[in-house]
Amino acid sequence: MYRRPQFDELMSRMKEPRRFIQVLSGPRQVGKSTLVKQVLQEIDLPYLFVTADSVPPENTAWIGETWSTARARLQIAQASEYLLVIDEVHKIDNWSEAVKKEWDMDTFNDVPIKVVLLGSSRLLLKDGLTESLAGRFEIIRMSHWSYLEMREAFGFDINQYVYYGGYPGGALLIKDFRRWQRYVKESIVAPAIERDVLSTKIVYKPELMRQLFDLGCVYSGKELSLNKMIGQLLDAGNVTTLANYLTTLDESRLLCGLHKYANDAARKYNRVGAMGGVGCRGILAQSG
């Protein structure tokens, strides 16, 4: 099975003494859980792997219960260290406060439990990390697959990579375009917007955000003014609203804006550039 470069990074940190919580952050379907499982298969360390995917969001006590289970297993195994891995941790309300409490308790009592947290995007993790877990974590960022990775793992040429993007799950479906299209739309885009963005951020016009994403994909690789977008979107409001929604989509790794090149910093930040969407790597630029 193909190993991404982050495998060596996580493996190296797992072999170090307990220092920080390790956070794997990245978009959906880029191989975070797979990478952790590869590390668990190779590492000589007892572990507990759990997922919060089916846990009710209000059940904050679940994190403490899971941590207690890890402590009990550590004592039973009489091991020098233990590893606790929590997938989809962001789905629990106030997860960061609960993690901080348990981590600090172990630190105070010298309990050697190492912790790895997985989240489906940087958007879902950043608030809790920066507010409650400041100084207690390191981030291993997992982005969409690079051209080199897609070429080595699936034999992509540059044209295929530019068109289909860096999602390994859809790589074997590209010979059936409609099937690939449905997979990207239903298994990646829809859950990322509905379950990640809209369930995490306060979005007053969710339909506008969906329209913005669709329009960004249509205009991938072309220049488009935010002012012109207002005329093409229903109930678009103002440029500030669109810019904020574009920032949110960027944080969730769905659609991003790049600044136009300029030697002068003020001119550079006065223009928005590149919109790269799922399965497309084009540019949206604010002209004029």
pLDDT, tens digit, 9 for 90 and up, residues 33-70 = 999 999 999 999 999 999 998 899 899 999 999 999 99
Q: What is the pLDDT of residue 266?
A: 64
27, 252 contact by CB (below 8 A): yes
Which of the 8 DSSP states describes residue 276?
B
Please give the average per-residue pLDDT across 153-160, as a whole number: 94
At a CB cut-off of 8 Å and minimum separation 6, what does 97 contact? Answer: 60, 128, 132
- The mean-pLDDT minimum among 60-64, 99-103, 237-241 falls in 237-241
Q: What is the pLDDT of residue 286?
A: 35
Which of the 8 DSSP states describes residue 140?
E
Give percent of the chain above pLDDT 90. 44
40, 158 contact by CB (below 8 A): no
124: left (phi over 0), alpha (psi -120 to 50) or beta: alpha
Alpha-carbon distance 259 to 118, whole Å? Answer: 30
| Residue bearing the bigger pLDDT, 279 or 178 | 178
Alpha-carbon distance 180 to 192, whole Å? Answer: 17
User: Residue 56: exposed, middle, or buried by beta-carbon count in 10 A (0-12, 13-18, 19+)?
Assistant: exposed
SS3 content of the chain, % helix, strand, coil (to 5): 50, 10, 35
198, 206 contact by CB (below 8 A): yes
284, 275 contact by CB (below 8 A): yes
233, 208 contact by CB (below 8 A): yes
Please report which confidence band the pLDDT of residue 277 belongs to, taking 50, 70 and 90 as the band edges: low
The rounded Cα 247 to chain-centroid distance in angstroms is 15
Please give the average per-residue pLDDT across 87-106, as a whole number: 90
Please give the average per-residue pLDDT across 219-236, as a whole number: 74
Q: What is the pLDDT of residue 13?
A: 95
For tokens 């630029």, name the residue. Answer: 285
Q: What is the pLDDT of residue 46?
A: 95
